[in-house]
Each structure stands twice: as structure tokens, then as C-alpha cells.
A and B are shown apart, each in its own frame.
Chain A
Amino acid sequence: DAGVIQSPRHEVTEMGQEVTLRCKPISGHDYLFWYRQTMMRGLELLIYFNNNVPIDDSGMPEDRFSAKMPNASFSTLKIQPSEPRDSAVYFCASSLYLRTVSGNTIYFGEGSWLTVV
């Protein structure tokens, strides 16, 4: 059973360039999440979608960040223009339910390592 698939795994780009990260969630999962991992803040939720609709984007750091989910099997996180402080690992995750009352429902991809120089 395929897990959450992210691409690219690694991206090095120059400041000011546009960066697009891609995600394919687990088939049948209604929720898709974008997280960012940094040393200072750990794993931060940037935005999440339910049935392809953005529900909460309060974690998106600024207007340079945007996310879309054109269909149930694909999402993008775009940074334009990119800055060195955007360097982090970006995780996509998906789940069948928004939350759980037992066990776990959220499954993460392997992450996209972004370095902006």
C-alpha cells in the first residue's frame, strides 16, 4: 500500500526563485496537511485541506507561501519568492479523519528538504 509521496526529496535553490513542492496523499484519505520542520519550532502545521478545500491556513507564514489541492490525489506548496529562512524540511501528511480518539490516523511522507541559498 503506497504511503504519502512527496517530491522533490531535496531542493537547493537561489533566493528569489520560485519553489514548488508536491504531494500525493494516501488514496481515500480526505485530509491533507502540510507541515514544516525547523530546529526552533519543531513541526508546524502550515495548512490543511478537507476534500480538496483549504480549511485552515493560519500557519502559513506569509503571502509568499501558497498551497493548492486541485484534486484528491495531488497537492502543491509553493514559495515565491523563496528566502534563506524558508530552508527547512517540508512534510506532507494525510489522514482519513481529522482527529482520532484512539491510535493514530495521520501518515507522513518522507519530506522535502529545501535549502535556499
Chain B
Amino acid sequence: DQQVKQNSPSLSVQEGRISILNCDYTNSMFDYFLWYKKYPAEGPTFLISISSIKDKNEDGRFTVFLNKSAKHLSLHIVPSQPGDSAVYFCAAYDYTGTASKLTFGTGTRLQVTL
């Protein structure tokens, strides 16, 4: 049962254009969301996050939007650069008392072309 879903396994975008990566979730207990970026042969690294009390968080070229009613979040990269080519994982924390796990999606491979 995949609680965090990234339905697009891959995305190709031209350099300079906007990249939009989508993520849907099913668990209403999720209260904090993160995006990780992963280059080949490396571990995932943190990119940007958003709390469930917000609907937008921006960090330079990266903006994450959260739509709680739709249980949907998206990562916007503007403008896209070739160095952004990587696999992007959406992840979410659920807070259930003292226990909390970070649940990841399946990832979206972004390719930024020249």
C-alpha cells in the first residue's frame, strides 16, 4: 500500500523552462513533507520541505506547494538547469504519538535537456 505516490516515473524538460513534479498521498496523519534529490551513485539529499500548516514554501529556484484538501503536493523548479537532472523523491512524516516514520514515494526521474 503506497501511501506516497509519484505517478510520473520520468519527466523531460528543456533548460530554462519550468519543471513540475507531482506527489499524492493518502495518509491524513502526514503533517510534514520533504523533497529529496538523488544523483546516480549517491544517496538522497534534502532539497526543500513544507509543513502542513503552510501551502507554499520557496527556496531560490525551488518552490513546493501543498494542497491538503487534495492530498497533493508539487515541486516547481524555475528555471530548470541541466544540473537539476536527478531523481526526486517526495517524502512525508506522520506523527502518531511518539512514533514517526519518513515515508517515501517511488521517485520521478527529471531530465533537463539543452
Contact = CB atoms under 8 A, between A and B. Distances in A.
A101 B93 CA distance: 10
A42 B38 CA distance: 12
Contact of B106 (A40, A101, A103): A40
A56 to B, nearest CB: 7
Interface string B69-87: 0000000000000000000
Given A42-B89, A101-B32, A102-B49, A93 B106 contact: no
Interface in B80-114: 89, 91, 93, 95, 99-107
A66 B32 CA distance: 30
A42 B43 contact: no
Interface residues of B, number: 26
B44 A43 contact: yes
A49 interface: no
Contact of A41 (B2, B34, B46): B2
Nearest to B107: A42
**What size tier do the contact residues of chain A reach?**
20 to 34
A45 interface: yes
Interface in B1-32: 2, 4, 6, 32
Contact of A99 (B32, B43, B45, B107): B32
B102 A41 contact: no
Nearest to A42: B106
Nearest to B95: A99
A110 B41 contact: yes
A10 to B, nearest CB: 10
Interface of B: 2, 4, 6, 32, 34, 41-46, 49, 51, 89, 91, 93, 95, 99-107
19 contacts: A39-B106, A42-B4, A42-B104, A42-B105, A42-B107, A43-B44, A43-B89, A45-B102, A91-B43, A91-B44, A93-B43, A99-B93, A99-B95, A102-B51, A104-B46, A106-B46, A108-B43, A110-B42, A111-B42
